């Protein structure tokens, strides 16, 4: 079920009213869990059983971890839970990729693959299960006494299919509190939802028209047209995914729950490290805490640190898609992180730091520009249908090849809007994102909101509105 659908509107209204009539928080949890399962089953009811099975395994093994008589026994239960969750994920998402790669490596013909349907959101709820089990084992979190609490954490419908990846230690404590469903939370949540809706249906979906057309036949278009399409895609994927995150955060807020921030104006980043502190924050912090640090982080020397960075980004690329192209995309970011870390080490070693204020500002602008262009280069491999198509696009852009001049009006319009929003963020919030919420107790604010809703209905793109990250 998509947020951009009448089915979701009806489900939201029904569940919200039902929660308002609940006499206690336990009844509210039951309503929200039923809502979450209906939300997921609407796509394919068969995979609801897989979601429930994953939840039960996590619930059972977490309790065994706590009840274990020795640390070694506790560790075995944790490893069993993590291995089971990863095995389920790997079968559905990576089985055919591994089989196909093995066959190509050894030149085996007709090894065969399975017709496996990828359950929507499996990567996200698997990460929820993994972090829960690991945190229980580490002693950072108590195992849930009630199955419904863990079930609601793993399957809470706003973030179920495309994040943010919420930590159990951030969400589960909220279930032990009487979270208010008051007017303030409703108005704030709906405004955040509307903010994300505009990003998705007005900006991202309209830019998809240009991006899909140009990327489908890059040899037909000029280098400048291809460059503009790449810029359009950088805005499309940002508005598509951050728009979903905003809608998830806003929906959760209406029920009184807080979800973590997932984007923070990432295209203002000056370097690769900062980019991953601003882009898909819940994933990058998850990879840091549950992969990079357990590998050794930066505790085992400079060389090992860079190896750990590369491994983390390679697996991050694989998480985004079961193909070598995504792994290469991860390798590009991993390489950039290691180069940046080496550069910073040399600057610190030789005290090569810019001290002049004017020159420092020039360097900052150049760094932001260079990082954005590098990110766009990486997006080409992320979006293109194959390596060869990606190389063709980059080559034609660099050489300024001739071809069809396709200057999509909405690319210029939305670049200007994003630029203005960025300037506002720099001035009002020191370069960080924020939600421009209005005080709805004022008449003028209500008029503005109504005008925004009207303009959204007028300018939204009525074509394909599937969220990009549903495929991950």
First to last CA, the chain: 16
C-alpha–C-alpha distance, residues 398 and 396, integer Å:
6
| Residue given tokens 């897989």 in the structure block | 50
Would you say 268 and 431 are in contact if contact means Cβ atoms under 8 Å apart? yes
149 given a catalytic annotation: no
Distance of CA 234 to the CA centre of its chain: 14
Please give the biggest Cα pair distance in the chain.
71
CA dist., res. 3 & res. 18, Å (int): 19
Joined together, the tokens standing for residue 334 give 């991993």
Among the listed residues 29, 128, 320, 340, the single catalytic one is 320
Residue 46's contacts (CB-CB under 8 Å, 6 or more residues apart) are none
Answer for the pair 158, 248: CB distance below 8 angstroms, yes or no.
yes
Phi and psi torsions of 241, nearest 5°: -80, -45
Active site residues: 320
């Amino acid at each position: 079920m998509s947020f951009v659908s009448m089915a979701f509107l009806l489900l939201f209204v029904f569940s919200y009213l039902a929660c308002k009539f609940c006499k206690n928080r336990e009844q509210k949890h039951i309503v929200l869990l039923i809502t979450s399962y209906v939300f997921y089953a609407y796509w394919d009811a068969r995979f609801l059983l897989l979601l429930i099975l994953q939840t039960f395994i996590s619930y059972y093994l977490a309790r065994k971890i706590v009840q274990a008589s020795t640390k070694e026994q506790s560790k075995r239960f944790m490893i069993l839970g993590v291995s089971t969750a990863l095995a389920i994920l790997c079968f559905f998402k990576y089985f055919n990729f591994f089989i196909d790669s093995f066959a190509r490596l050894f030149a085996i013909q007709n090894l065969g693959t399975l017709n496996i349907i990828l359950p929507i959101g499996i990567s996200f709820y698997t990460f929820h299960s993994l972090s829960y089990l690991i945190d229980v084992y580490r002693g950072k979190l108590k195992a849930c006494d009630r199955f419904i609490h863990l079930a609601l954490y793993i399957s809470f419908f706003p973030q179920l299919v495309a994040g943010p990846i919420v930590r159990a230690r951030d969400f589960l404590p909220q279930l032990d509190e009487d979270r208010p469903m008051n007017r303030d939370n409703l108005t704030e949540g709906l405004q955040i939802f509307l903010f994300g809706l505009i990003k998705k249906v007005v900006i991202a979906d309209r830019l998809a028209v240009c991006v899909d057309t140009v990327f489908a036949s890059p040899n037909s278009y000029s280098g400048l047209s291809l460059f503009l399409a790449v810029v359009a895609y950088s805005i499309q994927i940002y508005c598509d995914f951050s728009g979903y995150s905003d809608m998830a955060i806003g929906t959760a807020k209406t029920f009184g729950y807080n979800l973590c921030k997932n984007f923070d104006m990432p295209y203002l980043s000056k370097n690769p490290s900062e980019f991953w502190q601003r882009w898909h924050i819940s994933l990058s912090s998850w990879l840091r805490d549950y992969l990079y640090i357990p590998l050794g982080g930066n505790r085992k020397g400079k060389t090992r640190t860079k190896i750990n960075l590369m491994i983390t980004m390679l697996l991050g690329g694989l998480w985004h898609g079961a193909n070598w192209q995504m792994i290469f995309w991860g390798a590009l970011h991993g390489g950039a992180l290691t180069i940046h870390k080496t550069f910073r080490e040399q600057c610190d070693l030789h005290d090569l730091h810019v001290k002049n204020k004017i020159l420092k500002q020039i360097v900052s602008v150049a760094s932001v520009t260079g990082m954005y262009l590098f990110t766009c280069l990486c997006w080409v491999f992320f979006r293109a249908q194959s390596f060869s198509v990606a190389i063709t696009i980059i080559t034609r852009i660099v050489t300024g090849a001739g071809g069809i001049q396709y200057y999509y009006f909405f690319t210029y319009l939305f670049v200007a809007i994003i630029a203005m929003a960025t300037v506002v963020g720099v001035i009002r919030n020191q370069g960080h994102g924020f939600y421009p919420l209005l005080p709805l107790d004022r008449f003028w604010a209500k008029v503005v909101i109504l005008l925004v809703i009207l303009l959204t209905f007028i300018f939204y793109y009525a074509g394909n509105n599937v969220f990009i990250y549903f495929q991950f």
